[in-house]
Amino acid sequence: MSDTLYLSLWYPNLLLASLPDKLTAVLGAFASHGGEKRVYSATVWPVSWSESPVFQQIYGRRAGAGGDGAVELGAEPRLAVEEALELLHDDFAYEFQIGWSLWELETGGNAGPSTALRAKNAPNSAQDDSALGGLDARWAREPRLVRVTGFGPLFEEGTYEADGHIRIDFGSDTPFLEEDLELDSVAARHVEENVRQLVELTAAVEKASGATARLLWSELGESLAHRLAARLSKLVGGAN
């Protein structure tokens, strides 16, 4: 059964004024670990999730010339954070979306259920159908949207205590487990790569932002670390 995967980060005695630097560091770590270097969107939520946003910007719909003349979509992390956190309040939450690529199984030309964003012709996309019947079934590496949210201390009456000063919502955990899939050597390699990328990104955002505590957890409350370790162990054993 698929579940939603989160990473929560905490910082000792975090001042609200320091939150922009922490968010920028977390977003900036994605580019080196399977993610995009630019932010797709920014949204500011006041008081609670039930309120309407007081700020929203979809940078992914804007095209701007990069330094080499190439067209790029999105905003640099620091710019997106600066714009959103101009409204700096202790009861606001600041949500950013950024692309992060994983191997996922496609069948019949349709994306699997865990794909949240399709970026056709993206330079970092890749495909592998060597062992899965050509166009009928293939593994594709394309971005999904990941949500990175920074919480003011009074948002939702102190939700940061349970969810972290910064929380990353990775979406479905299916690409890391594929529990309903009979794995061959190709599938095992792709799922193992997804897990390793997750572990490396988790360590990178902790180090880059100076977090002193982190928790990788699932919405259903199961022991995600144990499930990931057990699945990875089986994949490595089966691939050898």
Please give the pLDDT value at position 120: 37
Please give the pLDDT value at position 73: 83
Quote the pTM value: 0.82
Please give the pLDDT value at position 38: 95
84 by Cβ neighbours in 10 Å (0-12 / 13-18 / 19+) ranks as buried
Q: Where are the domains of the chain?
A: 4-239
The model's pLDDT over 163-187, given as tens digits with 9 standing for 90+, comes to 999 999 999 998 988 877 776 778 8
- The per-residue pLDDT string of the chain (240 residues; one tens digit each, 9 = 90 and over) reads 678 999 999 999 999 999 999 999 999 999 999 999 999 999 999 999 999 999 999 997 555 545 555 567 899 999 999 999 999 999 999 999 999 999 988 765 444 433 344 433 344 445 555 444 444 468 898 789 999 999 999 999 999 999 999 999 999 998 988 877 776 778 888 888 998 999 999 999 999 999 999 999 988 776 666 776 776 566 555 555
Neighbours of 98 (CB within 10 A): 26
CA-based nearest residue to 127, from 103, 152, 93: 103
Q: Which residues contact 226 (CB under 8 A, 6 or more apart)?
A: none
Token pair for residue 126?
């890749």
Query: With contact defined as beta carbons under 8 Å apart, do 114 and 2 qualify?
Result: yes
Give the Cα separation of 100 and 122 in Å (integer): 12
Give the Cα separation of 69 and 128 in Å (integer): 31
